[in-house]
């Protein structure tokens, strides 16, 4: 791959400082030089490198989606996700993976898959170049209990193939299930600890015994895997902290004790609330029969209020809150994920800077890659976005594909900047 020199760009390096004017050199798959340009300075010439004159565009680290479901198929129900045959489903996942990269998500953390091996296969296919997609951590299906969130079997159709999640009951069934997914090669196990009102079991209710959860965590740790939990209810949030579940999705109903627990362990956990899903379910899903009256009755409006309060409190306490969550339903289609950042700013009081950092600086450890990604710094992997506009002034520009001028992953352009830039370089050269 050719070396690339970005000149004349405003660099947001992921460290939390104000952006600065400068040049970024990518050699191989890494950033090899980041230089500030001062008054009168000229871009360094690098023999053989492709020059991209950014004309003042905003250069930032690729974003990390913390709660991704490639296999959700933009349908309105779990059943209609589940009914897609496996052959079509894997092609769908491949298509969606590309869409994420198109939209600037150079890394995604799988949060659950709809059939046992979809995530693992997609991750492997991305890594070996069969398909195009972000860096990806592969998840298991959602592990749940009979009657819980993800058990979509019907009394007269009890076959496991009808279930969206993997349904287990008892510690040893849990252990067997975890082992099966570890055998398949997942990076993380997904366990549904709370309900989900839309599926019948209210979000404030919890499922699983402490013993079942303990076995899940124990077995996952024995395999060196991570556990992530669907945890909307108060009890489930506390279980995550008490049992060492690293990734907490939703965390809507956090009480003082839960907040204290989280704060005391704040570097052991990531929280990804998936606010856009709640908001769209409450207010923008009428087309699919979920009018505000219906969703109010389900309890989602109350949950949204609780979730906003919980997130505000977590932000004040310095708990890591990350974007991403449950895109892939009809009313939260894949690719619109940067909505989360807008809601972080508008609803929970983050500055645009904090919102950007939640998608970059915290993305590295969320991807288990430390500081290798999430920064525009020498030595880091070259996952880079070039943005037309200033996300620090208007965070919504990240939702607009046309404003995302270029996407680079691992030193290679997935989307190269448009011709006029290349042309400008030719003139310059």
Residue 118 touches other proteins, criterion: CB under 8 A: yes
In the complex with other proteins, the residue whose CB is nearer, 21 or 95, is: 95
Cβ distance 59 to 382 under 8 Å? no
Rounded to the nearest whole angstrom, what is the least distance from the CB of residue 56 to other proteins in the complex? Answer: 21
Token pair recorded at residue 91 = 């092609």
Member of 95, 169, 243, 336 binding other proteins (CB under 8 A): 95
Residue of the chain from 40, 48, 85, 370 that contacts other proteins (CB under 8 A): 85
User: How many whole angstroms from its chain centre is CA 87?
Assistant: 25
**Contact pick of 26, 31, 112, 131 for other proteins (by CB under 8 A):** 131
Give the Cα separation of 387 and 398 in Å (integer).
8
Q: Say how many C-beta atoms besides its own lie within 10 A of residue 161's C-beta.
A: 9
Span of 3-11, 31-39, 124-132, 311-319 interacting with other proteins by CB under 8 A? 124-132
Given the complex with other proteins, which of 91 and 154 has the nearer CB atom? 91
Give the residue with the Cβ less far from other proteins, 31 or 121. 121
Q: Which stretch binds other proteins (CB under 8 A): 28-36, 308-316, 325-333, 420-428?
A: 420-428
* Residue selected from 60, 64, 78, 94 as contacting other proteins according to rule CB under 8 A: 94
Residues in contact with other proteins, total (CB under 8 A)?
20
Task: Report the residue number, 95 or 336, with the smaller CB distance to other proteins.
Answer: 95
CA distance linking residue 233 with residue 237, whole number of Å: 6
Instruction: Report in angstroms how near the CB of residue 423 gets to other proteins at its nearest.
Output: 6
Q: What six digits make up the tokens of 232?
A: 């909307």
Q: Are 227 and 191 in contact (CB under 8 A)?
A: yes
Number of CB atoms found within 10 A of residue 39's CB: 5
DSSP 361-390: TTHHHHTT-TTSSS--STTSB--EEEESS-
User: DSSP labels for 244-275?
Assistant: T--EEEE--S--HHHHHHHHHTGGG-EEE--H
Strand-by-strand arrangement of the 166-167 sheet: 166-167, 139-144, 188-192, 226-231, 247-250, 270-272
Residues contacting 276, CB < 8 A, separation 6+: 325, 326, 327, 332, 336, 337, 339, 340, 343
| Minimum distance of other proteins from residue 29's CB (angstroms) | 23
Question: In the complex with other proteins, which residue's Cβ is closer, 17 or 88?
Answer: 88
Give the one residue of 127, 316, 426, 428 binding other proteins; rule: CB under 8 A.
Answer: 426
| Interface pick for other proteins out of 39, 87, 293, 429 (rule CB under 8 A) | 87
Measured from the CB atom, the residue of 11 and 118 that comes closer to other proteins is 118
Judged by CB under 8 A, does residue 125 bind other proteins?
yes
Determine if 127 is a binding residue for other proteins (CB under 8 A).
no
Stretch near other proteins under the rule CB under 8 A, chosen from 53-61, 80-88, 216-224, 359-367: 80-88
Does residue 333 touch other proteins according to CB under 8 A?
A: no
CA 31 to the chain's CA centroid? 23
User: Among residues 125 and 367, whose Cβ is nearest to other proteins?
Assistant: 125
**121 interacts with other proteins by CB under 8 A:** yes
Contact by Cβ (8 Å): 344, 358: yes
Establish if 427 lies at the interface with other proteins (CB under 8 A).
yes
CA 316 to CA 278: how far, in whole Å?
21
- 423 is a site residue for other proteins (CB under 8 A): yes
Tokens of 40: 């009168």
Nearer Cβ to other proteins, position 118 or 278? 118
CA dist list (Å): 7 to 33, 245, 246, 350, 422 = 11, 43, 39, 30, 12
Is residue 419 at the binding interface for other proteins, with CB under 8 A as the rule?
yes
- Pick the piece of the chain touching other proteins (CB under 8 A) from 87-95, 196-204, 220-228, 311-319: 87-95
Residues at the contact surface with other proteins, assessed by CB under 8 A: 85-88, 90-91, 94-95, 117-118, 121, 124-125, 130-131, 419-420, 423, 426-427
């Amino acid at each position: 791959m050719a070396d690339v020199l970005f000149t004349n760009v405003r660099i947001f390096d992921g460290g939390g400082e104000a952006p600065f004017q400068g040049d970024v050199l990518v050699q191989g798959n890494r950033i090899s030089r980041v230089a500030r340009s001062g008054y009168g300075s000229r871009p360094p010439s690098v023999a053989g490198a492709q020059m991209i004159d950014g004309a003042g565009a905003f250069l930032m680290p690729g974003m990390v989606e913390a709660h991704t479901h490639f296999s959700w198929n933009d349908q309105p129900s779990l059943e209609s996700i589940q009914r897609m045959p496996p052959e079509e489903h894997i092609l769908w996942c491949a298509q969606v993976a590309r869409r994420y990269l198109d939209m600037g998500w150079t890394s995604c953390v799988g949060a659950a898959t709809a059939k046992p091996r979809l995530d693992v296969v997609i991750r492997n296919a991305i890594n070996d170049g069969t398909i195009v997609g972000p860096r990806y951590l592969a998840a298991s299906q959602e592990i749940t209990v009979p009657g819980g969130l993800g058990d979509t079997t019907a009394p007269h159709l009890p076959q496991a193939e009808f279930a969206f999640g993997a349904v287990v009951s008892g510690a040893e069934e849990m252990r067997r299930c975890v082992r099966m997914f570890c055998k398949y090669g997942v990076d993380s196990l997904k366990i549904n600890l709370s309900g989900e009102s839309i599926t019948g079991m209210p979000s404030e209710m919890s499922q699983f015994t402490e013993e079942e959860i303990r076995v899940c965590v124990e077995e996952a740790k024995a395999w060196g895997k991570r556990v992530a939990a669907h945890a909307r209810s108060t009890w489930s949030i506390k279980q995550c902290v008490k049992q060492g579940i690293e990734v907490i999705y939703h965390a809507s109903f956090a009480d003082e004790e839960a907040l204290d627990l989280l704060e005391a362990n704040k570097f052991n956990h990531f929280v990804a609330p998936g606010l856009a899903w709640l908001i769209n379910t409450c207010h923008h899903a009428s087309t699919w029969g979920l009018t505000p009256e219906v969703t109010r009755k389900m309890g989602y409006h109350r949950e949204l209020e609780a979730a906003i309060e919980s997130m505000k409190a977590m932000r004040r306490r310095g708990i890591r809150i990350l974007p991403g969550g449950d895109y892939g339903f009809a009313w939260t289609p894949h690719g619109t994920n940067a909505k989360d950042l807008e809601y972080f700013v508008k609803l929970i009081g983050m500055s645009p800077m904090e919102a950007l950092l939640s998608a970059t600086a915290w993305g590295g450890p969320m991807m288990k890659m430390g500081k290798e990604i999430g920064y525009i710094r020498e030595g880091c992997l070259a996952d880079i976005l070039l943005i037309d506009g200033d996300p620090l002034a208007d965070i919504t520009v990240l939702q607009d594909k046309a404003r995302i001028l270029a996407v680079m992953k691992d030193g290679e352009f997935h989307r190269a900047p448009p011709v006029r830039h290349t042309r400008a370089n030719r003139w310059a050269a």
